[in-house]
Structure 1
Amino acid sequence: MRKVIALFFLALFFSCGKKIIEKPENLIPQEKMVEILHDLAILNSTKSSFSHIIENRGIKVMDFLYEKHRIDSAQFSQSDLYYASVPLEYQAIYEKVEMKLDTRKATLENATKKRNDSAKKALEKRKDSMIKPKID
């Protein structure tokens, strides 16, 4: 019984690397796909936070994304489907997207911290200049 289970998991493991869907002619390269998915994640988070502004300005997130990266919806869909059919490649793409998002988050947090520290110093300086010792 253990041999059957081991064979099943071995077959499952090797089947994860097989390409189920044929590679499209206009496949988006992995690095560009990382950029696109990174932008998509940011746009979707922006859309969820500021949907009223996006709607009022008539911005269509996907159209913006396609125009920015000079792709069309069919190319994106085919490429996404292809990479999804190759789990190890898809996972590698999403790990790179996550790393880019984490780096961006750290950069923004650092900039916010610097701005806050600068504002605190300016406030302290202003308070110090406003408090003058009394001279008798």
Structure 2
Amino acid sequence: MKKTILFLVVLTFLVSCKEEVVQKPERLIEKDVMLDIMYDLSVLEAIKYQNPVSLDTFKINPRDFILKKYKVDSLQFAKSNVYYASDYEDYKLMFEQITKRLETTKKSADSLVTVEKKKKKPVLQNNKKPAPIVGDTTKLK
């Protein structure tokens, strides 16, 4: 009898721990859309801290811009974020996906920069250096 009671108590405890900590909001943002929003926010925040003048000249608030883009209000975003954050492992996976996406974007941007740098380098014929200018050329007739 004691074993049965102990088993029921342990089973009840395990089942009760599986309850959601945060209730699912009425207007929950889908996980894929949430990933896109979080990715865009991180890119715009990086721009804001790397080159603040670029966003200040256009009077852009990155968070408001992204929320308008996805047609989401700030309360809906906050509630959805809290809901997804309540499951630590899943939230961690979301951030890992965003990090991979940022790294991929960074690699492609870096390769574009190197291509542009190569285009701007002057092409020298036969690897010869250009002849130095001797004297004052303004006095030449």
TM-score strictly above 0.5: yes
Gaps of 5+ in 1: 1-10
Identity of aligned residues (%): 26
Alignment size in residue pairs: 116
Task: Give the structure-1-normalised TM-score.
Answer: 0.73
- What are the superposed Cα offsets for residues 8-61 of structure 1, whole Å, 9 maximum, x if unpaired? xxx9xxx6x763101112111111111111100111111112223423422111
RMSD after superposition: 2.5
Give 3-state SS (helix, strand or coil) of 1:79's partner: helix
Flag the structure with more relative contact order, 1 or 2, with Cα contacts below 8 A and sequence separation at least 6: 1
Which of these two proteins has the greater Rg computed from alpha carbons? 2
Question: Is the Cα contact below 8 Å between 1:28 and 1:79 reproduced in 2?
Answer: yes
Superposed, 1:1-136 pairs within 5 Å as 19-120=20-121, 123-125=122-124
Query: 1:112, CA displacement in angstroms?
Result: 1.1
Gaps of 5+ in 2: 1-12, 132-141
* Higher helix residue share: 1
Query: 1:105, CA displacement in angstroms?
Result: 0.2
Tell me how far apart the structure 2 counterparts of residues 80 and 127 of structure 1 sit (CA, whole Å): 60
Question: Is the Cα contact below 8 Å between 1:83 and 1:89 reproduced in 2?
Answer: yes
Question: Is the Cα contact below 8 Å between 1:24 and 1:79 reproduced in 2?
Answer: yes
Give 3-state SS (helix, strand or coil) of 1:124's partner: coil
Tell me how far apart the structure 1 counterparts of residues 40 and 34 of structure 2 sit (CA, whole Å): 10
Tell me how far apart the structure 1 counterparts of residues 72 and 126 of structure 2 sit (CA, whole Å): 55
Tell me how far apart the structure 2 counterparts of residues 84 and 118 of structure 1 sit (CA, whole Å): 46
AA in 1 matched with 2:62: V
Query: 1:118, CA displacement in angstroms?
Result: 2.7
